[in-house]
Copies of this chain bind each other. A is one copy, B any other.
Amino acid sequence: MVFVTRQAHFNAAHRLHNPEKSEEWNASTYGKCNYPNWHGHNYIIKVTVAGNPDPETGYVIDLGKLKQIMKDQILDPCDHRNLNLDVPFLKNIIPTSENLVKVFFDQLKDQVEAVASEGSVLYSVELFETERNIAEYCPFKHTIIK
């Protein structure tokens, strides 16, 4: 099994805020991430596809095609945008990194698997909010839940 990863980046504003909760709940839950006038990040996204290399091309996926899908599906809608206000597929999503990776995975899955080698799957989406804060969605890594 071979895993192929493409990394890209975008710069966006956001704010953590649950509109169904009080101001007090939001301030105490999210701290400075809840400040009203937004803050932002240089997000780095890594998208991994798992499969077997095509025998003719030697590719699990043409990284040029993966780059283009990531641009169309994630970077163009999100780059230099406000993740709470501007992105149609993030409507009603609290933009924590945990929630973003799940939505990004769903945005990418069909288009990625359509151009990858026979039998390959979108394996994971990893998002670096900063180099210290990272989230990953991967439906294939199972753990023993308590």
Distance, CA A120 to CA B98, complexed state (A): 13
A97–B143 Cα distance when bound, in Å, is: 24
Copies of this chain assembled into the complex:
6
Q: Whose C-beta in chain B lies nearest to the C-beta of A117? A: B98
A118-133 contacts to B, CB under 8 A, are 119-121, 123, 130-133
Q: Evaluate contact between A141 and B39: CB separation under 8 angstroms.
A: no
Q: Does the CB pair B142–A119 fall under 8 Å?
A: no
Quick check: B4 and A80 within 8 Å, CB to CB? no
B138 touches A1 (CB 8 A): yes
Chain B residues with CB below 8 A from A7, complex form: 131-134
5 extra A-B contacts, CB within 8 A, seeds A58-B96, A140-B141: A5-B133, A11-B41, A13-B13, A58-B94, A63-B133
